[in-house]
Amino acid sequence: MRETFRKAKAKPRKAIPKDIIDELIFNCQNLRDRPLLELQSRCGARIGEVLGIRIKDIEGRRITVRNPRSGKENEVIFMPEQVANRLTTYIREKGLRDENRLFNLSYTAARAMTKRMGERLGLVLNPHDLRRHSATFASRNGMPLEIISKVILRHQNLKTTQLYLGKVSDSEAIRWMDILHGD
């Protein structure tokens, strides 16, 4: 019976290289699309969190996520300075006020936009791939797993974060051994 109803294993997805993510972001034609993609790929935000942001939730380089998936009252998304600056410009140019949503977009529309932009580069892309990129990029650049887990992905369990990062290639393992031991 167990064999019949065995849980399907998720296929490991390949991390998208930074240069491809950068090209995806830099090729945005719409004023709205770039900050939407950057919040996911640079800050590790979930698409649902991004679509729920109100202007009053943004303070400097911090975004308060109200009623996050973790069940906590709120969580914080931290932004790099360049993303925060572009977001400020976007808000000013759109004339958004405190109670306005940052992006007046449905989940379905945001997902379709991400898919369309990926197709332009020959990729099969969904919003969660951008979040996965954020974690993988941080990991490959030496950020400690605990920081990736608690700050970028905001997971409660390190094992969940490890699933995002996937396997380490032989060449990457060798590179890190050289970095560690000074060769």
Report the CATH number that the domain containing residue 55 is assigned in CATH. 1.10.443.10
Question: How far apart (Å, rounded) are the C-alpha atoms in residues 85 and 66?
Answer: 22
Residue 7 lies in a domain: no
Question: Given a cut of 80, is residue 166 above it in pLDDT?
Answer: no
At 87, the amino acid letter reads L
Question: Given a cut of 60, is residue 158 above it in pLDDT?
Answer: yes
Residue 12 lies in a domain: no
pTM (two decimals) = 0.83
Q: 15: pLDDT confidence band, cut at 50, 70 and 90?
A: confident
How do beta strands 62-66 and 74-78 pair? antiparallel
User: What range defines the domain where residue 32 resides?
Assistant: 18-181
Q: What is the pLDDT of residue 38?
A: 96
pLDDT in tens, 20-39: 999 999 998 888 999 999 99
pLDDT in tens, 58-110: 999 999 998 777 677 889 999 999 999 999 999 999 999 999 999 999 999 99
Residue 117 lies in a domain: yes
Token pair 């977001």: residue: 87
Residue 66 lies in a domain: yes
Residue 13 lies in a domain: no
Residue 155 lies in a domain: yes
DSSP secondary structure, 15-82, as one string: PPPHHHHHHHHHT--STTHHHHHHHHHTT---HHHHHH-BGGGEETTEEEEES-TTSSSEEEEE--HH
What domain count does the chain have? Answer: 1
Residue 4 lies in a domain: no
